Amino acid sequence: MTSAIVDDISRSFHTKFGKESILVKAPGRVNLIGEHTDYNEGFVLPAAIDKAIFLAIKPSATTLNHWVSLDMEQSFEASIDAIERSKLQWPNYLQGVLVELGNLGMAVPPTNIVFGGDIPIGSGMSSSAALTTGFAFALNQLFGLGLSRIDIAKLGQRAENNFVGIKCGIMDQFASVLGCEKTLLHLDCRDITYTYVPFNRNDVRIVLCDTQIKHNLAESEYNLRRSQCERGVEILKYYFPDVSSLRDVNPEMMQSHEQKMDDVVFRRCTYVIAENQRVAKACNSLTTDDFVAFGQAMNDSHQGLRDDYEVSCPELDVLQSVAEKTEGVFGSRMMGGGFGGCTINLVTEASLENFQQTLGKVFRQKLAKEPIIHICQLKGGTEILE
């Protein structure tokens, strides 16, 4: 599959622009636990997967950027000096990178690009973060910019925050750029320190069920959640001056100030604080191979996302509620920003077939959809292929 995609991209690049200088692979990601915690300076546990965006690139012979999305059959051409928001959306991720490089005093010459891949768009596997950081990674290599992988992840986040207008956290970019085979990343989103947590059990699989409901983070709900959390911090800060993010708040502080904030803000903050605690607990369970406890933390996470953070949707809830009761499933939860996309499930290898059959029925009978189920492998982060 992968090599067929790479061949297609290379071929198309050759036809349009000649031989590419480099080809970059930028993976999508899963997140085992720690949802909506990254922009609250909390903890996350993502990993890079075996679905990726591939991007062929070389410096342009003209003064124009000429970029082609193979999958969308769209192309974009614009002068490097006239960066404007595009209606096509995807060029904005790339343009955001150029703007952020410019802010660092690293303006780069125009480029020719052809890209495509197999990360389903809008499924919550972070195709946009892969595209953004993959492009930054490619420019870094092509023009010797001297950026570290962490610099690239942060730059990708700024490109999305500032140019695209999504106030996302750092998790997706970080996982895509710094992922490692058979490994989860335990990331502290406050100081961007991280540890690699081995996840190499052959008898436990990470399985995604795709609702096929396209979430759109740019829509206001994501940014709204962020501002509700900020509102909670603002209020708590008045009583606890040392609090600078929800990371600094414990459940007791929250409980004793319930009356000081409106119910929605209270529930948003309560969720985030509990989720950070779940990440810690889940990581501990991994060290003792206690997948039952890990899975329970996933189920609890879903409940919080559904009831307190309110970022789930009926389709995610249906898939999750059946999955958590299915034999051989340790845990199940919605993954990513929410309002669509996938559930992530931890399933024993021995129960995989039964899982696919059971969930397949749910897709057909309750969602009136053909099932889309991905069994993921954890792979390395962004890399140059040639």
Output the smallest distance, CB 36 to ligand GLA, in A. 5
Q: Is 341 near ligand GLA (CB under 6 A)? A: no
Q: Side by side, which strands form the sheet with 183-188?
A: 43-44, 183-188, 193-198
State yes or no: is 172 an active-site residue.
yes
């969720």: which residue's tokens? 271
Q: Is 324 near ligand GLA (CB under 6 A)? A: no
Q: Is 41 near ligand GLA (CB under 6 A)? A: no
Q: Is 210 near ligand GLA (CB under 6 A)? A: no
Question: Given the rule CB under 6 A, which of 99-107, 163-171, 264-272, 370-378 is the region that contacts ligand GLA?
Answer: 163-171
Q: Side by side, which strands form the sheet with 111-117?
A: 74-79, 64-69, 111-117, 46-59, 22-31, 383-384
Q: Which of 9, 17, 33, 36 binds ligand GLA (CB under 6 A)?
A: 36
Output the smallest distance, CB 168 to ligand GLA, in A. 3
- Apex CA 37: angle with CA 171 and CA 40, to 5°? 100
Please, which residues have CB within 8 angstroms of residue 226's CB and are 6 or more apart in sequence? 39, 167
Q: Is 339 near ligand GLA (CB under 6 A)? A: no
Considering beta carbons, is residue 226 or 257 the nearer one to ligand GLA?
A: 226
Site size toward ligand GLA (CB under 6 A) is 11
Which of 118, 172, 300, 308 is an active site residue?
A: 172
Q: Which of 42, 232, 337, 381 binds ligand GLA (CB under 6 A)?
A: 337
Question: Please, which of residues 168-197 interact with ligand GLA by CB under 6 A?
Answer: 168-169, 171-172
DSSP-derived secondary structure letter, 170: S
Considering beta carbons, is residue 247 or 257 the nearer one to ligand GLA?
A: 247
CA dist., res. 235 & res. 308, Å (int): 19
- Cα Rg, the chain, nearest whole Å: 21
Q: Extract the tokens encoding 75.
A: 């192309």
Question: Given the rule CB under 6 A, which of 81-89, 165-173, 294-302, 352-360 is the region that contacts ligand GLA?
Answer: 165-173
The two counts, helices (H) then strands (E), for the chain are: 11, 13
Q: Which of 5, 28, 38, 347 binds ligand GLA (CB under 6 A)?
A: 38
Question: Given the rule CB under 6 A, which of 8-16, 36-44, 143-151, 344-352 is the region that contacts ligand GLA?
Answer: 36-44
DSSP-derived secondary structure letter, 336: T
Q: Side by side, which strands form the sheet with 329-334?
A: 329-334, 342-348, 204-210, 373-376
CA dist., res. 297 & res. 277, Å (int): 10
Q: Is 100 near ligand GLA (CB under 6 A)? A: no
CA dist., res. 183 & res. 141, Å (int): 25
- Residue 249: what residue type? V
Q: How many residues does the chain have?
A: 386
Question: Given the rule CB under 6 A, which of 31-39, 145-153, 229-237, 256-264 is the region that contacts ligand GLA?
Answer: 31-39
DSSP-derived secondary structure letter, 33: S
Q: Is 39 near ligand GLA (CB under 6 A)? A: yes
Q: Is 76 near ligand GLA (CB under 6 A)? A: no
Considering beta carbons, is residue 36 or 66 the nearer one to ligand GLA?
A: 36
| Inter-residue contact 45 to 185 (CB < 8 Å) | yes
Active site amino acids: 172
List residues binding ligand GLA (CB under 6 A). 35-36, 38-39, 126, 168-169, 171-172, 336-337
